[in-house]
């Protein structure tokens, strides 16, 4: 096999690969066997017909075309390895020459991993902030737990703060119904502040089956831009009212929650959990700050367009999943912010480039410091993940995939890079 490499703009290369007739021959034979398996040739079992018989039946170019597909896949990989190229994405393949008894020649245009010239990352200093758990955070969590174990009792009296109401609701702007603004038997707990300011206050004093019309101005920072800062009319009907009886704030609450004898034991567990959560968040902030400094001090080759587009595509999927998890349709979200997918893709571009540069910088540090992750480390982490989802066959299947293995390898290596930077930072 002969390989010629030509550099192209935007960190791409063009490989011209010539596969000799002798090197192509095993692929030709394999293709003839596979084609014969699909044919009903008298006197021969499937896959056992001689080459000349198969050639006579389907034509030799049919055999060579299928052989070329197999050969290109194998020989392209060998060419990349032989030239020690680190490629990104799929190549664009074009056949230049294919004829029986002749060498196969094809061209492959592919993007390369951009090179990084790292700055002095060992002299970056980013302080970590001290993590402190406020007593109000613990008490707020306890109050939320108390509400979780509250018991509802339907009452025949005007609604008051702390009650749960089921309401029918219709909303209007300039007497026109709002898309998605109609709801039946919608649950509302007065005083929780889950609705816009003033909404829950207007429910106080309502009796069962009583209706009320009122108008409120939506906050300027409201997530739906078509409603932000605008007056909206509400037509409400109270369908049912429930008083919520909360368990006492003592050791009995601790026993309701779980394996706790004392309220103080529960309080300590909550404090430890909050401290762990805040520690994780502070570490994430520190890591972002550190890698941001690394990127600023580094110089990057031009990033191939295919890589940027792939990252933007990933970011769009992340946003769509987040919107759907909040109970909204993605198209409705786009309408509410008055933007198209193309608009978001343009906005995401600078952030996508930054994310790519971050990944490239982490990889470059790992290579320079010879930071690696052993297969045994990855397999151990995979077993831990599988034990968490042992009853979910679909998740187990994903964990066992090659894609997840590669993802986990990158995550674990990045983790080791940050551990290295943390020691250097100290």
Last residue of a domain, which of 113, 143, 173? 113
Q: Are residue 241 and residue 260 in the same domain, yes or no?
A: no
CA gap 309, 108 in Å, rounded: 20
Last residue of a domain, which of 187, 212, 245? 245
Mean of pLDDT values over 59-78 = 93
Mean of pLDDT values over 102-118 = 93
- pLDDT tens string 318-369: 999 998 888 888 888 888 788 899 999 999 999 999 999 999 999 999 999 9
Q: Are residue 182 and residue 261 in the same domain, yes or no?
A: no
- pLDDT tens string 257-303: 888 889 999 999 999 999 999 999 999 999 999 999 999 999 999 88
Contact of 291 with 355, CB cutoff 8 Å = no
CATH number at residue 211: 3.10.50.40
Q: Which of 90, 96, 127, 128 is nearest to 109 (CA)?
A: 90
CATH number at residue 44: 3.30.70.1050
Quick one: pLDDT at residue 56?
A: 83
Residue 35 has pLDDT above 90, yes or no: no
Mean of pLDDT values over 61-85 = 93
Confidence of residue 39 (pLDDT cuts 50, 70, 90): confident
**Does residue 145 lie in a domain region?**
no
**Does residue 220 lie in a domain region?**
yes
Q: Are residue 278 and residue 339 in the same domain, yes or no?
A: yes
Quick one: pLDDT at residue 180?
A: 81
Contact of 344 with 316, CB cutoff 8 Å = yes
CA gap 68, 14 in Å, rounded: 19
**The most confident of 45-54, 55-64, 229-238, 398-407, by mean pLDDT:** 229-238
Report percent pLDDT > 70 for the chain.
99
**Does residue 57 lie in a domain region?**
yes
The domain in which residue 208 lies consists of 151-245
Mean of pLDDT values over 203-221 = 94
Quick one: pLDDT at residue 305?
A: 86
**Domain count of the fold of the chain:** 3
Confidence of residue 41 (pLDDT cuts 50, 70, 90): confident
**Does residue 138 lie in a domain region?**
no
Q: Are residue 57 and residue 168 in the same domain, yes or no?
A: no
Q: Are residue 310 and residue 196 in the same domain, yes or no?
A: no
- pLDDT tens string 175-194: 899 888 899 999 999 998 88
Q: Are residue 258 and residue 228 in the same domain, yes or no?
A: no
**Does residue 49 lie in a domain region?**
yes
Instruction: Say if strands 104-112 and 87-97 run parallel, antiparallel, or are unpaired.
Output: antiparallel
CA gap 303, 291 in Å, rounded: 18
Q: Are residue 266 and residue 336 in the same domain, yes or no?
A: yes
Confidence of residue 73 (pLDDT cuts 50, 70, 90): very high
Quick one: pLDDT at residue 120?
A: 92
Confidence of residue 110 (pLDDT cuts 50, 70, 90): very high
Quick one: pLDDT at residue 295?
A: 95
Q: Are residue 216 and residue 275 in the same domain, yes or no?
A: no
Average pLDDT, the chain: 91
- pLDDT tens string 246-257: 999 899 999 988
Q: Are residue 263 and residue 214 in the same domain, yes or no?
A: no
Please give the helix or strand (H or E) that residue 364 lies within, else none: helix 341-368
Contact of 16 with 72, CB cutoff 8 Å = no
**Does residue 119 lie in a domain region?**
no
Confidence of residue 37 (pLDDT cuts 50, 70, 90): confident
Q: Are residue 209 and residue 269 in the same domain, yes or no?
A: no
CA gap 291, 361 in Å, rounded: 8
**Does residue 128 lie in a domain region?**
no
Q: Are residue 201 and residue 262 in the same domain, yes or no?
A: no
Classify residue 15 by burial, with Cβ atoms within 10 Å: 0-12, 13-18, 19+.
Answer: buried
Last residue of a domain, which of 88, 113, 138? 113
Q: Are residue 272 and residue 235 in the same domain, yes or no?
A: no
**Does residue 31 lie in a domain region?**
yes
């Amino acid at each position: 096999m002969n390989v010629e490499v030509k550099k192209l703009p935007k960190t791409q290369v063009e490989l011209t690969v010539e596969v000799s007739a002798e090197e192509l021959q095993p692929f030709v034979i394999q293709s003839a066997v596979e084609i014969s398996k699909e044919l009903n040739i008298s006197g021969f079992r499937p896959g056992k017909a001689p080459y000349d018989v198969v050639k006579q039946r389907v034509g030799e170019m049919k055999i060579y075309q299928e052989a070329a597909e197999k050969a290109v896949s194998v020989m392209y990989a060998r060419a990349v390895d032989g030239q020690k190229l680190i490629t990104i994405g799929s190549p664009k393949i074009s056949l230049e020459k294919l004829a029986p008894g002749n060498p196969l020649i094809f061209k492959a245009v592919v993007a390369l991993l951009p090179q990084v010239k790292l700055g002095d990352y060992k002299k970056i200093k980013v302080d970590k902030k001290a993590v402190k758990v406020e007593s109000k955070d613990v008490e707020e969590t306890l109050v939320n737990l108390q509400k979780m174990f509250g018991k509802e009792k339907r009452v025949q009296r005007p609604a008051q703060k702390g009650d749960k109401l089921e309401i029918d609701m219709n909303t209007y702007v300039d007497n026109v119904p709002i898309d998605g603004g109609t709801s039946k038997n919608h649950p509302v707990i007065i005083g929780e502040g889950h609705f816009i300011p003033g909404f829950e206050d207007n429910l106080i004093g309502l009796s069962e089956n009583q209706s009320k019309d009122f108008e409120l101005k939506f906050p300027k920072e409201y997530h739906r831009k078509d409603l932000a800062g605008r007056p909206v009319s509400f037509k409400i009907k109270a369908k049912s009212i429930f008083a919520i009886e909360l368990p006492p704030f003592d050791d009995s609450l601790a026993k309701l929650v779980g394996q706790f004898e004392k309220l103080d034991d529960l309080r300590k567990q909550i404090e430890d959990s909050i401290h762990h959560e805040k520690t994780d968040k502070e570490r994430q902030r520190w890591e972002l700050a550190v890698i941001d400094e690394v990127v600023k001090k580094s110089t990057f080759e031009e990033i191939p367009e295919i890589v940027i587009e792939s990252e933007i595509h990933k970011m769009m999927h992340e946003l769509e999943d987040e919107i759907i998890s909040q109970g909204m349709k993605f198209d409705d979200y786009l309408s509410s912010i008055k933007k198209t997918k193309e608009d978001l893709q343009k906005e995401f571009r600078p952030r996508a480039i930054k994310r790519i540069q971050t990944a490239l910088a982490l990889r470059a540090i790992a290579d320079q410091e010879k930071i690696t992750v052993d297969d045994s480390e990855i397999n151990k982490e995979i077993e831990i993940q599988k034990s968490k989802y042992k009853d979910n066959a679909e998740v187990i299947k994903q964990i066992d995939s090659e894609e997840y293995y590669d993802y986990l390898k990158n995550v674990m290596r990045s983790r080791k890079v940050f551990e290295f930077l943390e020691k250097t930072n100290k």
